[in-house]
């Protein structure tokens, strides 16, 4: 295990129900996005930010995220919601919002992406976000 659990932030378990419900809601949203694309979920996993509260890093980016792996035809991919903490020079604006992104294969570049900023997590708001993403 390369990272230990523990957050260096003033967070408690007082909002455990809200936290778990939010993660569950967003995972279901991602499953519906996969269905919209005609893909299939691979297994029943979820990829999530490490338990130490530090972002994942790669290719000049640092991010927090929640993603679900899927297949589209024979190609493996993942779809997720990401918040960038650091970006390469010239891409700093990506840190200003959440992103809904889909990746296929081993590439670091998304095949589809859009800003993810529904005002609430209400079903109607999420359906609107899915429709916008499907257009991409």
Among residues of the chain, what percentage have pLDDT more than 90?
A: 67
Q: How far is CA 76 from CA 12, 31, 43, 72, 99, in A?
A: 36, 15, 12, 6, 20
Cβ contacts of 66 within 8 Å, gap of 6 or more: 23, 26, 27, 30, 46, 47, 48, 49, 80, 81
- pLDDT score recorded for residue 24: 92
Each as own residue / partner, the long-range contacts of residues 55-64 (CB below 8 Å, 24 or more positions apart, any chain) are: 55/85, 55/86, 57/86, 58/108, 59/88, 59/108, 60/86, 60/87, 60/88, 61/86, 61/87, 61/88, 61/91, 62/86
Q: What is the mean pLDDT of the chain?
A: 89
- pLDDT tens digits, one per residue of 97-124: 999 999 999 888 999 999 999 999 999 9
Q: Is the pTM of this model over 0.85?
A: yes
Cβ contacts of 27 within 8 Å, gap of 6 or more: 46, 66, 68
């Amino acid at each position: 295990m390369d990272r230990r659990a523990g957050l260096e932030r003033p967070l408690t378990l007082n909002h455990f129900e809200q936290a778990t419900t939010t993660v569950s809601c967003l995972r279901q949203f991602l499953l519906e996005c996969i269905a919209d694309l005609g893909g299939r979920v691979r297994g029943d996993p979820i990829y999530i930010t490490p338990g130490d509260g530090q972002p994942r890093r790669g290719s000049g980016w640092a991010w927090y995220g929640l993603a679900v792996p899927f297949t589209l035809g024979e190609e493996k991919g993942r779809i997720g919601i990401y918040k960038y903490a650091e970006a390469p020079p010239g891409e700093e604006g990506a840190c200003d919002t959440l992103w809904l992104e889909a990746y296929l294969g081993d590439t670091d570049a998304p095949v589809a992406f859009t800003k993810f900023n529904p005002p609430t997590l209400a079903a109607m708001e999420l359906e609107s976000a899915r429709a916008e993403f499907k257009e991409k």
